Structure 1
């Protein structure tokens, strides 16, 4: 089926599909951020929190070492680097395929982090520093251009003067006037300023050599803007989207969120934040920068699954080496076909394969092609439930490679990249597994070409593990 949005945000070695909303988890390693300052000062704690956000469904981790709250104290590039470098290094060591963003206005810090492997430069000053433009042009990072009002004047509420009606033959006398007042400032001058700045800065980046598809725009809610102005800008999200760049919504726990919800404590504004994020998504925003990743993913994934028809192609590798192996595979396919918003498209033959990854006995394997409208993290939980229903018992001592009635590995989902301890997509070992690649030949003409096009390196047959030994037959699952 045709999708409404085929846009891609190119960030380093990653191509982030914006066919569905993406969640950027906030990781402040600062002592004075407005809602979570001091919570992640220890690099080890910060890295563990980043991995937790990835397991909750975050697509991007945004690491910041300088608070930009009202009245913040600026820090030097040296101090900021001291805070962020150990954390970024730790995240990329633990999850090498993670998409990490550096939230900085310092060119030296951005340059250092780009060399370390971050994929995105998120500049609150909107790349107004020529040195930051140069850093962006010399890297292949995605760039977030943010608008900061910088105290350039506060828009007042709109009002107009209305003349009172006067009869045609009424005697000449002074005519009373009345004033019609509005609850918000006029949109036009606010959006001219915001969109003009963002467009100008994007063009500066492109003239320097940054491609259009690497640029994302952020209207900068809360940055020297009143609550009224922020509401005006949020209501004009469609106009921002019409500029042709991905739009980032970074309203999480901001003052104006408190103003519209009546919640005074910043850390208690997450439900209100989700309401505004859903409004932004409906208007075309596709990146949501949030503090509470678990709540955001639950709200966004549920909304998207119900509101949008968005089936994705996926492949599940299934294997069994206990009991009636073919019956276990067959029952697994039937249960996968019963997962909500998911259907089995076709199933490969079953194959006898050599033991791999420490398994002691040969395994019966097959690959299932599916279509699903569930978020991959939700789909993974359903696959784990299939294992549970078929009596799979996981031995912590054997790290998942022991005997199993059934093993369900989600190895690929269309347009999805993910990193974390719970799920990595595409599966990090997909290209080396003969017991996945050979069954996939039953499902498509050239799986090697398909996977290579998707960015998955594929090993030569002689270099693979779990080689196919023989065919076991068709799985009668229907």
Structure 2
């Protein structure tokens, strides 16, 4: 389908589509961060917070073990050993519970970056912009995505602009009109952006000369880092200029001091609403990654903003199954209810198939697959599918870990250009390629589902190695 934006960001084993904006959740495991210091110093609590952010809609978790407050005069910087001690258990814990999660590590230390890349981190977020040759080497030796941030004190005095306006004296006036001065509320944008864009472009080229491909690089103008409030506003207004450089642009204004200055909110933790406003303005100007503390709030605002301003239907597949009551009718009712989900329609439904039990289920199941088009974010869509299960009176026995009898089971298996990891939703579905009861019904919907899924990066098992084998066709679903 035609889209306004085809760009992607290659991060390790992930190819993150930027056809819609992505949210990066901030996970500071530091005792002294300016807005959330001390909240996640316990590794177990930090892992739980990361999983919570994934369920709230975060696409990326950015783990940091050193607050920038340690760079201020008189402060004691965190050693690489201490930073690794803080973040390594957290990264391991997240990947243990969400193996396909996209994790970014916020570090300036090459030794820490190297350890994290080996652990499975997908993104290196360097606040010093890869000015350390050792960091460049780590980036080149890994396949991680790289965030180049500007943190150089902008040169020259910061003054507001003013120009002299001369007026000609009309012939009928005896006295000359005095020269007037026009004053501006912000400094001139050109020198500010020339310096920032020059640095970001230079450092991106340093990475590429070292072997980092262009599609792995993202840029961040570094709001709040040795910049005045006025300069930060100038930078935000120039987001389109940053986008024109040809790299994904990260917007990282969350709870920053300049957000408080323009909103009037003094306490950093109270600046989330103001942060959301600036983030949405950045998205409208082309920024495609939002680094935020309040993941739930920003995702709600972003999903609704995107839904009402952008036409962005995506193909998806929902696997449905029933082994209680009138199984064929249960499937038909489920498809009718899926077709009623807002901003979602059923394109077609496969035939229903009798399949062998799998995953501890004791009886045969009738399964089908539904092709949909949806403009809802996947994390929103999964909630609507769970509502359908409730409406059709599915009962979940916690002792059976989701594998007990069910009037209906609705699994969101695949959504075009989407990948996600979390307790509530993993996309593509982690068991998609091994389920005969999904792959066979998909043959009713497309010519070669195995080729389609393999092209999308989903490994598919040979028929004899699958689970839940199809044993008979039951009939068509009555949903229209």
Where 1:246 maps in the other structure, the secondary structure is coil
C-alpha separation in 2, matches of 1:179 and 1:319? 74
Bigger Cα displacement from structure 2, 1-10 vs 155-164: 155-164
Could you say which residue in structure 2 is the equivalent of 1:369? 371
C-alpha separation in 2, matches of 1:154 and 1:458? 61
Change (3 A) 1:22 1:279: same
The Cα of 1:155 is off from its aligned counterpart by: 2.2
Could you say which residue in structure 1 is the equivalent of 2:56? 56
Could you say which residue in structure 2 is the equivalent of 1:309? 311
Where 2:129 maps in the other structure, the secondary structure is coil
Where 1:184 maps in the other structure, the secondary structure is coil
The Cα of 1:161 is off from its aligned counterpart by: 1.7
Q: Is the 8 A contact 2:413 2:428 kept in 1?
A: yes
The Cα of 1:397 is off from its aligned counterpart by: 1.1
C-alpha separation in 2, matches of 1:271 and 1:240? 24
Where 1:377 maps in the other structure, the secondary structure is helix
The Cα of 1:68 is off from its aligned counterpart by: 1.2
Could you say which residue in structure 2 is the equivalent of 1:7? 7
C-alpha separation in 1, matches of 2:166 and 2:347? 68
The Cα of 1:323 is off from its aligned counterpart by: 0.3
Query: How big is each residue's C-alpha offset from its partner over 1:332-362, in whole Å with a ceiling of 9 and x where there is no partner?
Result: 0000000000000000000000000111110
The Cα of 1:150 is off from its aligned counterpart by: 2.9
Where 1:157 maps in the other structure, the secondary structure is coil
Could you say which residue in structure 2 is the equivalent of 1:37? 37
Q: Is the 8 A contact 2:169 2:176 kept in 1?
A: no
Where 1:365 maps in the other structure, the secondary structure is strand
Alignment of 1:317-356 (within 5 A): 317-356=319-358
Q: Is the 8 A contact 1:154 1:225 kept in 2?
A: no
C-alpha separation in 2, matches of 1:358 and 1:332? 23
Q: Is the 8 A contact 1:195 1:240 kept in 2?
A: yes
C-alpha separation in 2, matches of 1:79 and 1:152? 33
The Cα of 1:74 is off from its aligned counterpart by: 1.9
The Cα of 1:179 is off from its aligned counterpart by: 1.6
Where 1:183 maps in the other structure, the secondary structure is coil
Gaps of 5+ in 2: none
1:92 maps to 2:89: no
C-alpha separation in 1, matches of 2:365 and 2:90? 40
Could you say which residue in structure 1 is the equivalent of 2:189? 187
C-alpha separation in 2, matches of 1:370 and 1:437? 16
C-alpha separation in 1, matches of 2:138 and 2:365? 51
Q: Is the 8 A contact 1:67 1:73 kept in 2?
A: no
1:25 maps to 2:25: yes
Query: How big is each residue's C-alpha offset from its partner over 1:144-166, in whole Å with a ceiling of 9 and x where there is no partner?
Result: 00011336445211111223433
TM-score by length of 1: 0.98
C-alpha separation in 2, matches of 1:467 and 1:54? 32
C-alpha separation in 2, matches of 1:308 and 1:116? 37
The Cα of 1:433 is off from its aligned counterpart by: 0.4
Query: How big is each residue's C-alpha offset from its partner over 1:398-441, in whole Å with a ceiling of 9 and x where there is no partner?
Result: 11110110000000000011001010000000011000000001
Query: How big is each residue's C-alpha offset from its partner over 1:117-152, in whole Å with a ceiling of 9 and x where there is no partner?
Result: 100000000011111111101100000000113364
C-alpha separation in 2, matches of 1:445 and 1:318? 20
Query: How big is each residue's C-alpha offset from its partner over 1:9-31, in whole Å with a ceiling of 9 and x where there is no partner?
Result: 00000000000010000000111
C-alpha separation in 2, matches of 1:37 and 1:124? 18
The Cα of 1:168 is off from its aligned counterpart by: 5.8
RMSD across aligned positions (CA): 1.4
1:104 maps to 2:107: yes
Alignment of 1:394-473 (within 5 A): 394-473=396-475
1:144 maps to 2:186: no
C-alpha separation in 2, matches of 1:73 and 1:314? 51
Q: Is the 8 A contact 1:313 1:370 kept in 2?
A: yes
C-alpha separation in 2, matches of 1:121 and 1:73? 23
Query: How big is each residue's C-alpha offset from its partner over 1:204-239, in whole Å with a ceiling of 9 and x where there is no partner?
Result: 111111000000000000001111111111011011
Where 1:260 maps in the other structure, the secondary structure is helix
Where 1:419 maps in the other structure, the secondary structure is coil
C-alpha separation in 2, matches of 1:351 and 1:169? 95
Aligned residues: 477
Out of 256, 259, 267, which is 2:261 matched to? 259
C-alpha separation in 1, matches of 2:210 and 2:335? 52
C-alpha separation in 1, matches of 2:409 and 2:173? 90
Q: Is the 8 A contact 1:349 1:366 kept in 2?
A: yes
C-alpha separation in 2, matches of 1:296 and 1:430? 30
The Cα of 1:76 is off from its aligned counterpart by: 1.1
The Cα of 1:270 is off from its aligned counterpart by: 0.3
